Amino acid sequence: MADTDVPARRRSGGVERRSQPAGPIVVIAGVVAVVISIPVTSIFGAWLSPPSPNLWHLVETLLPEAVENTLILVAMVAVGTGLIGVGTAWIVTQCSFPGVRLFEWALLLPFAMPAYIIGYAYTAMLAFPGPVQSWIRATFGVTRDQYWFPEVATVWGAGAMFTLVFYPYVYLLSRAAFLEQSGSTIEVARTLGRSPWGAFLTISLPLARPAIAAGIALALMETIADFGTVHFFGQHTLTTAIYRTWMGMGDRLGSLQLSAGLLSFALLLLFLERWSPRAFTADEISTAQLLSFLEAARWAPSSYNSQPWRFVFARRETPHWGRLLGLLNEFNASWAKGAAALVIVFSKLDMLVPGAAEETPAYHHSFDAGAAWLSIALQATRSGWHAHAMAAFDKERALAELGVPAGFRAEVAIALGKAGNAEKLSAALQAREVPSQREPLERIAFEGRFRA
């Protein structure tokens, strides 16, 4: 139903408008985007073919261990890079000590060392003939079977290498987030009785959470894509499974289909941070920043490129703010008043099908407007903001008071802001200030026939 092609013509409120000629920068950017998208397109395009016969063999033999090891690495790197990256960033931004300026850039040096090089170095240093174990045997007069020493060439060893190399992703983004925070916020928390540790947990950490999550996501994408380190350590992961499928079995289609699964997992990491908080900071949002979210919505797919969505927005402390806030019900207004901006989403009830002379009902206008809302939410999250959609507002008043012409429906209201401290909410809302849970897939997806 959804036609994602974007023609040169665009319609706005029934008036046809021709696009301006693309400048050279736009053309160059388009060419670069096409070149970059070719590998991704070819990988996902592999699933247009029937599944490779070798996939079932891999599922029964190699893939269980590969998936398990990959998940272990993901969990270990997420925790490790988060602790090291956030901890070091907090120390160098909030503490003053000799050499702090040196540490600020020295903590980035692991970026210059590939993970497999670190693996070589630690293996040579910690293996049985290496200097560490040789010193233990010489100092204490013991033989190999008389002491225990952890084995480096394991999945846990590989996870440690990834953590030591990729934590700068988290450090760099966390440091920038901590530097942007107002020092007076921490001082006020301290004067109200918060300990340094309490102020960090309840003020600084929640404000930096989007940046921390982005850094961890980058580290995890590097982890699941690595081949050299896990191959050197002799561990089977999804990347080595892809390599063995292509080079060992000669199955190019099977390796592409496995790659699509790996790429899907990497894309999933980008969406895990998206959720809808009710507690926002006092940060104001610029018109340019807000329009960048709506620009993402403008490129959402829609049937026949009808683009039925329309947006009316207001930023906090502007003349139009009170009008939009007054459309919300009492419950939503109680917390949305702290948002940086409000957006009301409308959808057009009719559409002009290409080749037709008159508009016809667009039965999918709400579905297409939903695609635009998700684009806003994802773009806001990628930019360090959050979006919360609300269905409870006066839709009839919205149509009348905002000057909406006939033929449109009010869909949702959206609150936009930066996630803040949940403690300023009521006790009832604090309990709900967590990402929502989801139904198991088997309860919503059915093969062949709907099941109650």
CATH number for the domain spanning 85: value is 1.10.3720.10
**pLDDT tops 50 at residue 159:** yes
Domain count, the chain: 2
Tokens representing 96 are: 């003053």
18 pLDDT higher than 60: no
Both tokens of residue 256? 């592409």
In a domain, 186, yes or no: yes
Q: What is the pLDDT of residue 94?
A: 86
pLDDT number for residue 108: 92
Q: Within its chain, how far is the Cα of 250 from the centroid?
A: 35
Look at residue 135 in the predicted model and tell me its pLDDT.
92
The answer to whether residue 42 is domain-embedded is: no
pLDDT level of residue 183 (50, 70, 90 thresholds): low
Q: What torsion, rounded to 10 degrees, do the Cα atoms 432, 433, 435, 436 define?
A: 20
Residue 15 binned pLDDT confidence (cut-offs 50, 70, 90): very low
* Entry pTM: 0.58
216 and 332 part of one domain? no
Lowest model confidence (mean pLDDT) among 114-128, 179-193, 214-228 = 179-193
Higher pLDDT, 405 or 202: 405
Whether residues 282 and 357 share a domain: the answer is: yes
Task: Give the E-state strand segments of 34-112 in sequence order.
Answer: none
Which domain does 323 fall in, by range?
A: 278-438
Residues 228 and 282 in one domain: no
- Percent over 90 (pLDDT), the chain: 41
Mean pLDDT of the chain: 85
Does one domain contain both 206 and 336? no
Kindly report which listed range (31-35, 200-204, 217-221) carries the lowest average pLDDT score: 200-204
Asked if 282 and 227 sit in the same domain, the reply is no
- Name which of 411, 331, 327 is nearest 374 in CA terms: 411
Most confident region among 124-138, 245-259, 400-414 by mean pLDDT: 400-414
Q: Of 210, 236, 262, which one is at a domain's C-terminal end?
A: 236
364 and 298 within one domain = yes
Q: Is residue 22 part of a domain?
A: no
Residue 83 counted as domain residue: yes
On whether both 185 and 303 belong to a single domain, the answer is: no
**Same domain assignment for residues 228 and 290:** no
Q: Is the confidence at residue 279, as pLDDT, over 80?
A: no
* Residue at 184 is within a domain: yes
Give the model's pLDDT for residue 297.
93
User: Alpha helices, DSSP H only, in 272-364?
Assistant: 287-298, 321-325, 330-336
- What's the pLDDT at 244? 87
- Where residue 365 sits, what CATH number does that domain have? 3.40.109.10
- Would you state the pLDDT for residue 265? 75
- Orientation angle between helical segments 252-271 and 365-382, nearest 10 degrees: 80
Q: Among 212, 236, 260, identify where a domain stops.
A: 236
DSSP 147-185: S----SSSHHHHHHHHHHHHHHHHHHHHHHHHHHS-HHH
Residue 337 forms part of a structural domain: yes
Within a domain: 366: yes
Q: Which of 292, 300, 95 has its CA nearest to residue 178?
A: 95
Residues 416-431 have pLDDT tens digits of 998 877 666 666 666 6
pLDDT at 38: 86
Q: Do 326 and 217 share a structural domain?
A: no
Residues 211 and 319 in one domain: no
Q: Residue 287 and residue 81: Cα distance in Å, rounded?
A: 35
The pLDDT score that the predictor gives to residue 428 is 65
The mean pLDDT of 312-321, rounded to a whole number, is 93
Higher pLDDT, 368 or 18: 368
What's the whole-number mean pLDDT along residues 32-59? 82
Among candidate residues 236, 269, 288, the one where a domain is terminated? 236
Collapsed DSSP state (helix, strand, coil) of residue 187: helix
Q: Is the pLDDT of residue 433 over 80?
A: no
Dump strand ranges (E) for 302-375: 309-315, 341-348, 350-351, 360-361
More confident residue, 60 or 433: 60
pLDDT at 368: 94
Please tell me whether residues 304 and 383 are part of one structural domain. yes
pLDDT band at 245 (very low <50, low <70, confident <90, very high): confident
Shared-domain flag, residues 220 and 287: no
In this prediction, residue 2 carries a pLDDT of: 41
When pLDDT is cut at 50, 70 and 90, the band that residue 276 belongs to is low
